[in-house]
Amino acid sequence: MNQAQSQTQLIALDWGTSSLRAYRLGADGRVLELRSLPWGVMQLPVVVPPENSVVDSKSGFEFAFEEACGDWLRAAPQAPVIAAGMVGSRQGWLEAPYLTLPIAVDQIGGTLSQVHTRGGQVVHIVPGLIENSALPNVMRGEETQVIGALSMPDFAKTPTGAEQQAEQEEILIGLPGSHSKWVQVRIQHREVQSYIEHFHTFMTGEVYAALCEHTILGRGMQTNDGNDDNHAAFDRGVLVPKSPAGSAGVLSTIFSTRALGLTGVLDGMGQREYLSGLLIGHEVAALQTLLSQRAHQPARVILIGNAALCDRYTRALKAYGIDQVEVAGQATERGLWRLAKAAGLLRHLQP
């Protein structure tokens, strides 16, 4: 057995709408190599068929998969493959059915779907989650990051003392982004099990991009030059929902971005920062209202995502009285490893 074969224990794919990240994982889920490709589900490579052959609708997935990890598999053919994200959506390689909430975390790994490549490789696809209600809610990919956050060392330990006495603990996990998710997790200490119970979705990031790029609000803005030090404008926006004017709602208050620019209160960069803070502020304010309706309040708040964006959300949460905020790193790869283990894909590692 060569060195690559002995080291590579799992190939894990985070395959979203706009990008594909491939991880080559070694002992205990350690990242040995990471590749990032611009081939998400909605922008796959165009495959030109050889003469007298046919290219089907899934050829782009095959090509992207080969480019991402084909050489890894040839060097370590025993390594299983697991994939999470929009690759399992209706527009993906294979639709993996949604699982209904509430659900035990370890149950998710036992319900993976399979797609077989033309080369005979089995790709195990993680299902999404659905919350059926008057306004249904779905996620794909975020469930894996949540599981990764719950796999951090301080969650993996056996509960003792006060934790056992409390029996259960409520955790709120936020995943800021284009479609921000806020996921409520119940940790049942005596069972040593976690349950994903409920989540909310806010289209904050996508709305922000659309307002900046496709409405009159963006006309007076300056492009971000990479300097994120304009905290005053951001903080001003964050606090709008707490003010009397904020009770008018986000559709009314967003116009203040333009008005503050026209009156000279905010410059072009300030307007962009203000709008970011205002939208995040409305999200956090709404989240607080929703949490107040729950029987149990979260004992911990954990963020997962881009570091700069998590910093913005941390500032906004503190403005609304939520001071203890943690940021979980390596959530995706941790989650994929834990799911593969729960699915029995790592049995080949047993002595």
pLDDT along the chain (351 residues), means of 10: 70 96 96 96 81 70 96 95 97 96 95 94 97 96 96 64 67 96 90 90 97 94 67 96 95 97 95 97 96 85 95 97 93 96 83 48
Give the Cα-Cα-Cα angle 96, 203, 270 (nearest 5 degrees): 145
Q: What whole-number distance in Å separates Cα of residue 252 and Cα of residue 36?
A: 40
Q: What pLDDT, on a 0 to 100 scale, did the predictor assign at position 193?
A: 87
CATH class of 3-131+333-349: alpha beta
- Decide if 3-131+333-349 and 204-327 have a common fold: yes
Overall fold of domain 204-327: Nucleotidyltransferase; domain 5 (3.30.420)
94 and 84 in contact (C-beta within 8 Å)?
no
Q: What pLDDT, on a 0 to 100 scale, did the predictor assign at position 1?
A: 45
* Pairing relationship of beta strands 168-175 and 180-188 according to DSSP bridges: antiparallel
Domain spans in the chain, listed from the N-terminal domain onward = 3-131+333-349, 204-327
315 and 235 in contact (C-beta within 8 Å)?
yes
Q: What pLDDT, on a 0 to 100 scale, did the predictor assign at position 256?
A: 97
Q: What pLDDT, on a 0 to 100 scale, did the predictor assign at position 4?
A: 53
According to DSSP, the residues that pair with 173 across neighbouring strands are 183, 302
Contacts of 176 (CB under 8 A, 6+ apart): 204, 205, 280, 303, 305, 306, 309, 310, 312, 313
